Amino acid sequence: MPSHHATTQATPNARERVLEAAYSVAAREGVAALTLEAVAAEAGVSKGGLLYHFHSKEQLVSAMVERLCQSFEEASARAVAADPDPAGRSARAYLAACAGDLGPSTRWLALVGALTLYPRLLDPWRAAVLAGRQTDQAEGVDAAAATIVRLAADGLWLGGLLGLPGPGPQLKRKVVDRLGELTRRQE
């Protein structure tokens, strides 16, 4: 049993190195330069070693997208778990995740570029957006208010990602708080 565990441990490390290298290449040179050869060289593995984990460029890009989506889902889940008010908590969690630190923006910019190559890789995110709307309805929050909050959260996140001038930290906190108020049940 211990030898199986050691094998399981070694494989994710190489896979993680390849993913990190893919983010680096995409951030530095753009997604168009994201070739299997460039990623293998950056990761310090042979092309065969890379192909062991990712059989194609599309599979590599898909793993990059999946990893970023997972980090977003984890941030949102932490916010849901920390929110004692069930009404509107999904929209507030989405807002918290978008307004929070989701890791290096270069990774997210790589995601945007990757989606231009393989637009269908955004399908799981689209499904998650629709599921979020259904959750908002189930939580009893006003659908228009929850939609406004989610769209504004997208704007905060995308504006920050693109380096657009945004609110400073104090104003951003006030905006996030005001948006969060929209998700509370109005009596």
Q: What is the DSSP string of 154-170?
A: HHHHHHHHTT-----HH
147 and 76 belong to one structural domain: yes
Q: Determine the Cα angle at 36 with ends 163 and 110, to 5°.
A: 10
pLDDT of 85 reads: 92
Q: What is residue 116's predicted lDDT score, i.e. its pLDDT?
A: 80
Question: Which amino acid makes up residue 116?
Answer: T
Task: Give the CATH number for residue 10.
Answer: 1.10.10
Burial class (CB in 10 A: 0-12, 13-18, 19+), 8: exposed
pLDDT, tens digit, 9 for 90 and up, residues 124-136: 888 888 999 999 9
Residues 46 and 73 in one domain: no
**What's the pLDDT at 104?**
65
The sign one gets for the Cα dihedral 135, 137, 138, 141 is positive
The predicted model scores a pTM of 0.79
Q: Count structural domains, the chain.
A: 2
Do 31 and 78 reside in the same domain of the chain?
no
Torsion angle in degrees (nearest 10) through CA of 91, 93, 96, 99:
-60
Cβ neighbours around 103 below 10 Å, total: 13
